[in-house]
Amino acid sequence: MKITDAQLKQIYTHAKETYPYECCGFLLGTFDDGGLVREVRPATNLNQERTDRFEFDGKESLQVQSEADDAGLDIIGIYHSHPDWPPIPSQTDMDSAFVNMYFLIVSVHQSMPLNTNIWRLADEGMRRFEGVALEIVDQAELNRDPS
């Protein structure tokens, strides 16, 4: 998956803001370009009871999906943070994952984002995640038309 430094910082800022709760959001882009993120969309985490859960707002998700459609983009992934926990998918993450979608998890320790991992379901039947390499790309990549 490819992302710019500025987009990654946007996610880190969001993760800091919501600490000690998880942040969550959408990664809009194109699968054809090797999973190029063209836009980061912070979302509302409806779950404010536990610090190890996130729950998207259905209405907000539909809105983002419709805006992505209009822009000729896909929701290629979602991101969320793990406050004081490694960036490894939980059982809950496993259960909520979709095939093909990138799953970005940022680990936050005492409100400081530490490291990021990208995951993708290896196959739906097994419900098993595999790590995906994260490539930091130049801003200029985003100026090319979606293929």
Alpha helices in 43-90 (DSSP H): 58-70
Closest residue to Zn ion using C-beta atoms: 93
Confirm or reject binding of residue 93 to Zn ion (CB under 5 A).
yes
Residue 90 binds Zn ion (CB under 5 A): yes
Identity of the residue, 74 or 93, whose beta carbon is nearer to Zn ion in the bound complex: 93
Q: Does the annotation count 39 as an active-site position?
A: no
Q: Counting contacts by CB under 5 A, is residue 86 touching Zn ion?
A: no
When asked if residue 13 is in the footprint of Zn ion (CB under 5 A), the reply is no
- How far apart CA 1 and CA 119 sit, in angstroms, is 10
Residue with tokens 């992934």: 77
Catalytic positions, written as ranges: 22
Q: Which residues bind Zn ion (CB under 5 A)?
A: 90, 93
